[in-house]
Amino acid sequence: MHIHYISEQNSILNHFLTQIRDVTIQKDSMRFRKNIERIGEIMAYELSKTLDYKNIDVQTPLGIKHTTTIAEPVVLCSILRAGLALHTGFMNFFDDAENGFVSAYRHHYDNDDKFEILVEYQAAPSFEGKNLILIDPMLATGQSLVAVLHKLHLEQKPKEIHIAVVIAAPEGIAFLEQNLPENCHLWVAALDEKLNEKNYIIPGLGDAGDLAYGSKL
């Protein structure tokens, strides 16, 4: 798996990452969503540099311009509900992309720390021969991403698979490396220290879905 860490060099990305972690700024859910969206835009731009392009001629009012465009279509697919704001950021840049949505959540047995990943809802276009970008803000254990990709990837073969996450734990990255094809690309805005005993990212930022859209039952 090819891993791209995009916050190693200081940029405005680090500013937005700082704000989404700050417990005082987090109280403003609209600002939290907007900052996640902005991070998605930055990640989309960086990811776009690695795609294949083809030559085209464009008619302008004054002549013909020889230029390039993305060679294969892009499909954006996010994991509900936490991925929606990040998805919007990617959609702002890949504005002609097709879009898919999948639900995945931790189902805990007897309210203890053990869980399984349930993938129950899927609405996605064909991604045969296309660039599939799977979007989820938090990479903790990695089990949700693997479960979703296995569900999506049963019959159709995308040209490339890109996974975009805002914050990742080393344990989750290791799990993806063990369970996903070598030709996958993982895009990470920030690498954190570890998972705690409940498999939450430390220092992390909390529950991205709750911060963006409110607490759930």
Domain boundaries, the chain: 2-213
CA angle in degrees (0–180, nearest 5) for 104-108-112: 150
Q: Are strands 63-70 and 201-202 parallel, antiparallel or unpaired?
A: unpaired
pTM: 0.92
Q: Please spell the DSSP secondary structure of 2-45, one letter per residue.
A: EEEE-SSS-SHHHHHHHHHH-TTGGG-HHHHHHHHHHHHHHHHH
pLDDT of residue 134: 95
Amino acid identity at 27 = K
CA angle in degrees (0–180, nearest 5) for 205-198-187: 50
The CATH code that applies to domain 2-213 is 3.40.50.2020
**Taking the C-alpha atoms of 91, 95, 97 and 101 in order, what is their torsion angle to the nearest 10 degrees?**
30
Per-residue model confidence as pLDDT tens for the chain (217 residues) = 999 999 989 999 999 999 999 999 999 999 999 999 999 999 999 999 999 999 999 999 999 999 999 999 999 999 888 889 999 999 999 999 999 999 877 665 666 666 677 777 888 899 899 999 999 999 999 988 998 888 876 667 899 999 999 999 999 999 999 999 888 999 999 999 999 998 899 999 999 999 999 887 7
Longest dimension (CA), the chain: 69
